[in-house]
Amino acid sequence: MKNWLTQILGLCMAVTLLSSCEKDEEQVVAKPGRETTLTTVSTNVPLTLDDKDKTYVVYSWTPVSFGYLGEVVSYTLEVAKKGNDFAGAKTYQTGSALTKTFTVSEINSLMIEMGAVQDAKTKEFSPIELEVRAKAALGTSPTADAMAKYSAVTTLAGKPYNANAAIVYPSLWVPGAYQGWAPDKAPAIASGDKDNKKTYEGYIYFPSADKLKFKFTSKPAWDDVNYGKGASATDLSTDGGAGDLEVSEPGYYWLKANTETLKWSATKTTWAVIGSGTAKGWDNETPMTYDPIQGVWTITTALSQDGEIKFRANNGWDLNYGDKGGDGLLESGADNIKVPSAGNYTITLDLSKGAGNYTYTLKKN
C-alpha cells in the first residue's frame, strides 16, 4: 500500500514539475508585438529660408509590446530617398520617446543630403520624395533588427531651398570713395529682420588710406534719404549737405547704423577659427586670410573628427559666429559648428551680404 501511494505521489510531483518547466519556457519566448502606427502632422509652414527655424513636421507613433514583463522597447525614425528600400537611411534614435519633430532647416538639409539635384546654373534644387517609417526594437539597442517591428511607410515630398541664397532684408547702401561713389554698385548692410527698418549692420572692406570716406543711402541711388556726418563722430545726419562719414584706416570693418537714433559705429576686424576641431583647440585661434577679390576670409587647415569650430573676431569673444540648425547660415554667438570628418579643409567665411546672410563653407580637400 505504501509503495502504491509513493508511486502516485511521485507521479503527481513529476507532472507538477513538468508543468512548471513548460510555463518557464513560455516566458522566454517573445510573443509577436503589434506593428506601430506612424502619424504625420504637417504645420503647413513653407519650405523656405525665411522660415528655417520654424517647425515643419512632427512624426508620432504608437507604442509596441513584445509580450515581455518589464520589457524595454527602443524606437527609431528612419528616412530614406523614395525607391531605395531604406538603403542608406538616415536614422533618428528617440529611445522610449514616441515622437520626433523637424524644423524647416533640418528637413531642407535632409532632402539635400538624400540626393536633391542642384542646377549648376540657377543653383536651385529639384523636388525630391523621401520615405519615412518608425521602427520598434526589443531591448536598449535601437539597431537590433531580429525582432524589429516597422510602421507603414509614409512619403515626404518637397523642394529644398538654397541656404546660401541671400534673403532680401531692409538695407542701407554704402557708396564711398573706395568704390567710386556709385550707390547702384555699392555693397549694403542689412537689418537681418524683415520687420526691422531701424538697425542695420554688415561688413565693408576699405582697401586704401586715401579712400576711407563714405555715406549710407536708403536706396541704391542718391534721390532718397541719405546719411552723412552728424554733430559728433558717432552721429548721423539726414541733411543733404552733411559731410562724409569716415573710418580711421584701411581694413575690414563691421559697420552698424541706427536710422531712428541716428547713431553709427565702425569696428575694424580680423577673423579666425577656433575650437576643438583645430590643432590649437579652444585656447588659441587660427587666423584666416582676407581675399579682396572674392570678398571672403579663408584658411586651409586640418580639422579633427568629432571636433567643433566657431568664427571669432579680433582674438576675443565679443564678436563671434556659430550655426544654429546646421544650415550654413551664421548667427551671432550661436552653436558650435561640427566637423563632418577628419581631414584637410578649406574653410570660407563670407560676411559680405549683410546681417542675416552671413555664410560659411567647409570643403574637404
Q: What is the pLDDT of residues 280-298, one digit of tens each?
A: 999 999 999 999 999 999 9
Residues 190 and 146 in one domain: no
Residue type, position 216, single letter:
F
Residues 46 and 139 in one domain: yes
- Domain range for 245: 171-269
> According to the model, what pLDDT value does residue 143 have?
66
Residues 44 and 116 in one domain: yes
Task: Look at the alpha carbons of 36, 37, 41, 46 in this order and tell me if their dihedral is positive or negative.
Answer: positive
Q: How many CB atoms lie within 10 A of CB 204?
A: 22
> According to the model, what pLDDT value does residue 24 have?
40
Note whether residue 111 is domain-resident: yes
| Number of independent structural domains in the chain | 3
Residues 276 and 332 in one domain: yes
Q: CATH number of the domain at 210, please.
A: 2.60.40.3620
Which three cell numbers, joined as nine digits, stand for 224?
532718397
Note whether residue 178 is domain-resident: yes
Residues 147 and 192 in one domain: no
Domain boundary pick from 269, 300, 331:
269
> According to the model, what pLDDT value does residue 314 have?
98
Residues 84 and 196 in one domain: no
Q: CATH number of the domain at 139, please.
A: 2.60.40.10
> According to the model, what pLDDT value does residue 146 have?
67
Domain boundary pick from 136, 158, 180:
158
Note whether residue 113 is domain-resident: yes
Note whether residue 23 is domain-resident: no
> According to the model, what pLDDT value does residue 326 have?
82
Domain boundary pick from 158, 185, 216:
158
> According to the model, what pLDDT value does residue 18 have?
35
CA-based nearest residue to 74, from 146, 138, 152: 138
66 vs 139: CA distance, rounded Å: 10
CA-based nearest residue to 241, from 258, 255, 222, 259: 222
As averages over each run of 10 residues, the pLDDT of the chain (365 residues) reads: 40 38 39 74 88 94 90 94 93 95 94 88 88 91 76 95 84 98 97 94 98 98 97 96 97 98 99 98 97 97 95 98 88 95 96 94 92
